[in-house]
Amino acid sequence: MAGSIEPAITDGLEGGERRRGELDIRQLRVLKTLLSEVSVSRTAAIHGLSQPAVSLTLRRFRSLTGDPLLVRSGTGLAPTLRAQDMVALIDRVLDDIDHLVGREADFEPETSERVVRIVAATSFTPFLVPRLVQHLRRHAPRMVLEMLPMPSIAALQQLLDAGEVDIVLAHRQPNSPHLRGETLTECQTVCMLDPGHPLAGASRIAMADYLDLEHLSPNPPSGAAVSPIDGRLAELGLARRIRASLSEYALVPMVLAGSDLVFTTTKPFADQFAARSHIAVVDAPEEFGVMAVYLFWHERVHHSTFNAWLRGLVRGMLN
């Protein structure tokens, strides 16, 4: 029947293949905007289309995926779980297409709707993220920032290989021929303590005293291999006593308050909390030296205009 809508699930391969062949790049761009804006009218205005044309694109992708993609929620629309999963894939497909045809040279932060995905060690996110958000709101207001926690080494490699992460900020250098990286900065290593701690007034904690203390760590004892602190101690043939571990750094001052535990971290992180919490900051044992901050990214995005812009932005903020 003329004007009828194709069924959500085809009876055979041929129908599905035909619909995939009808998709074009513009439809992908429209869908990306629609899933971000969750508004047919705003999407239509952004792309210079009529609202029925945007609705038709949505119907086509609903038919192709067998998923509603957008559903009613309160007074508006909300993306389904399938739609949320599709966003990163669409970004990756469009990135590859733009790179192939040389279109990425047209990247403009002021109008870009990119989702910026950064994996970062939590020790310097309190210093970086507020500045990054402020910059994006002023100079790239349509971009969306996603800060992701540091996963295992294997999982991180998979995220980079799949294009699901733009850049990584870590305390360990990458060990892969597919990654590029650089040292962004080096931070002094310090200890955070309760002001009532016996060593709170010291200028520096000696290693012998440090090993006698009880420690709070972002990594449990079983995760010592990924910790720059425990890694350095292992190099020296030493180990500390970790009595509590937590992954949420915002809780550190509250856990330290009134306790005898010590938290070892970078000076920028400690200073951020000391400025608004009743916390003492003391230099860590000199054997730790400085804690390097590494920036790395996948080889496949090395020549990406967007990725180069993002690297430069973060580089400037941390330097």
Whether the CB-CB separation of 119 and 78 falls below 8 Å is answered with no
Query: Residue 24's pLDDT is what?
Result: 79
The tokens describing 188, both together, are 């002094």
Q: Which residues partner with 167 through β-bridges?
A: 118
Residues 61 and 145 in one domain: no
**In tens digits, what is the pLDDT along the chain, a chain of 319 residues?**
333 333 332 333 334 444 555 667 888 889 988 998 889 998 888 888 899 999 999 999 999 999 999 998 877 888 999 998 888 888 878 877 766 665 555 688 998 888 999 999 888 788 789 999 999 999 999 999 999 988 888 888 888 988 889 999 998 887 888 899 999 999 999 999 999 999 999 999 999 999 999 999 987 776 555 688 998 999 999 999 999 998 888 899 999 999 999 999 999 889 988 888 899 999 999 999 999 999 999 998 898 889 999 999 999 988 7
Residues 198 and 219 in one domain: yes
Please give the model's pTM, rounded to 2 decimal places: 0.66
Query: Residue 149's pLDDT is what?
Result: 86
Query: Residue 89's pLDDT is what?
Result: 84
Q: Residue 91 falls within a domain, yes or no?
A: yes
Q: Which residues partner with 296 through β-bridges?
A: 168, 181
Residues 162 and 211 in one domain: no
Q: What is the CATH number of the domain that holds 255?
A: 3.40.190.10
Q: Residue 50 falls within a domain, yes or no?
A: yes
Domain region containing 73 = 13-106
Q: Residue 187 half-sphere exposure, CB side, CA atoms within 13 Å?
A: 25
Query: Residue 62's pLDDT is what?
Result: 93
What is the count of structural domains for the chain? 3
Residues 48 and 100 in one domain: yes
